[in-house]
Amino acid sequence: MTLDLIIRGARLSDGAAPVDIGVAQGRIATITPNIASDAPSLDASGGMIFRGFADSHLHLDKACMLERAVNRTGDLKGALAAVTAAKKDFTTEDVYARGARVLEQAIGQGTTLIRTQVEIDPVIGLAGFEAVKQLKADYAWALDLQICVFPQEGLLNYPGTEELLRAALEGGADLLGGCPYTDTDPEGHIALLFAMAREFDVDLDFHLDFDLDTSWRHLDEVARQTIAHGMQGRVAIGHVTKLSMLPPDALEQSVALLKGAGIALTVLPATDLFITGREHDHAVPRGVAPAHRFHAGGVCCTVATNNVLNPFTPYGDCSLPRMANLFANVAQLGGPEELAACFAMVSSDPFRLLGVSDRIEVGVPADLVLLPCESRAAAVAEIRRPVWGMRAGRMTFEAPAPRILRP
């Protein structure tokens, strides 16, 4: 067998001995301790090789727009109002340019799989969707993009939105999202989305319970509908910041509820920390759902970017190790197993949620990313930036470590 490339000294799991990975015709041809071959090689130096990070919740269409949309109140209402006003001027070219900037940052951070939430309503129409569809095709050399179309401005309160969502699903959208808290009829919103998801046979991904008031929530209705429609394993919920305010007993009941209904939980720490708790003038709650508790209870959990440089989150570099570290810090997690769980929430769990295998074995495409550390916990603790990535054996980015120049 003729190898095109050998990656030498690669660690495939925590504590495992380094191995060599032989690549032929874009696929992994062999994995063994010492490949005797004079094919070109890359030295992983004992670093971790994995399939890359997966961002399960990232808004490309409203990224990088701080100069044209200001959040006047700092809270969710202020962010929604700012984007609604600015959206009138969105064009396909404009969304494409801002989305491309974000995707190129994500590629450089070692992200290889993204679910992007795209707003659909009668003002933006399908302009954002068309731009993201083009981005999906144009960046397929580096990453897989899953398109989740959703009614950010509400569904039942906004005539014309349902028809546009249907057009997007017929035009190549991968799944359907929801945002019941912006609808005048949240339960009707949830019911219609489940009906449409069944009709089109697609997964669902809700923005849900995005405040800190525990006197009401939509989670129970989403869980009920998930079970009623037999959609266990096909529904995800994002934010759910109300969960951060639950005492231990109620939290345990919620863990059992999600586990039983097969619902995945996504936390978006940068946005959740920036937006929630604004009603407090001191001792501000953290407002980040304790995903580690759900993860330990067997629920598929992901930590994701959500927004980059917009009124919801005026920060962002698309680094998922940074996001995992932020979550670990907020959730007060420091042990090696706790940090490894945080790593799973930006890698294996979102891969599972998006229905993509992250196995590295003979025969699969050589889609590989190198992390300059020996364990998952270290990657999170030290926010280690991937050094390079490849797709089907072709290099997609390089980010060499800084070189110290001694006197």
Q: Which is nearer to Zn ion, 148 or 251 (CB)?
A: 148
Q: Which is nearer to Zn ion, 164 or 268 (CB)?
A: 268
Q: Which is nearer to Zn ion, 44 or 304 (CB)?
A: 304
Maximum distance among all alpha carbons in the chain? 69
What distance in Å separates the CA atoms of residue 327 and residue 303, rounded to the nearest whole number?
8
Closest approach of Zn ion to the CB of residue 237, in Å: 11
Task: Report helix angle 186-200 to 161-170, nearest 10.
Answer: 20
Closest approach of Zn ion to the CB of residue 136, in Å: 18
Helix (H) or strand (E) holding 396: strand 394-398
Backbone angles phi, psi at 379, to 5 degrees: -60, -40
Backbone angles phi, psi at 293, to 5 degrees: -70, -40
Closest approach of Zn ion to the CB of residue 121, in Å: 15
Q: Which is nearer to Zn ion, 302 or 306 (CB)?
A: 306
The tokens describing 236, both together, are 């995800």
Closest approach of Zn ion to the CB of residue 268, in Å: 6
Query: What Rg value do the Cα atoms of the chain yield, rounded?
Result: 21
The tokens describing 263, both together, are 């619902």
What distance in Å separates the CA atoms of residue 36 and residue 203, rounded to the nearest whole number?
46
Closest approach of Zn ion to the CB of residue 316, in Å: 13
Residues 6 or more apart in contact with residue 63 via CB below 8 angstroms:
98, 99, 101, 102, 307, 308, 309, 310, 316
Closest approach of Zn ion to the CB of residue 59, in Å: 6
Q: Which is nearer to Zn ion, 10 or 58 (CB)?
A: 58
Binding residues vs Zn ion (CB under 5 A):
306
Which alpha helices (H) appear in 179-317, and where do they start and end?
A: 186-200, 219-228, 248-261, 269-275, 291-296
Which alpha helices (H) appear in 58-125, and where do they start and end?
A: 76-87, 92-108
What distance in Å separates the CA atoms of residue 154 and residue 183, rounded to the nearest whole number?
4
Closest approach of Zn ion to the CB of residue 376, in Å: 26
List the strands of the sheet with 27-32, edge to edge. 27-32, 19-24, 5-10, 41-43
Q: Which is nearer to Zn ion, 275 or 390 (CB)?
A: 275
Closest approach of Zn ion to the CB of residue 117, in Å: 5
Closest approach of Zn ion to the CB of residue 116, in Å: 10
Q: Which is nearer to Zn ion, 349 or 367 (CB)?
A: 349
Name the one residue in this structure whose structure tokens are 């340019």. Answer: 97
DSSP 94: H
First to last CA, the chain: 48
Q: Which is nearer to Zn ion, 271 or 347 (CB)?
A: 271
Closest residue to Zn ion: CB criterion: 306
Please check whether residue 343 is in contact with residue 376, taking contact to mean a CB–CB distance below 8 angstroms.
yes
Q: Which is nearer to Zn ion, 274 or 397 (CB)?
A: 274
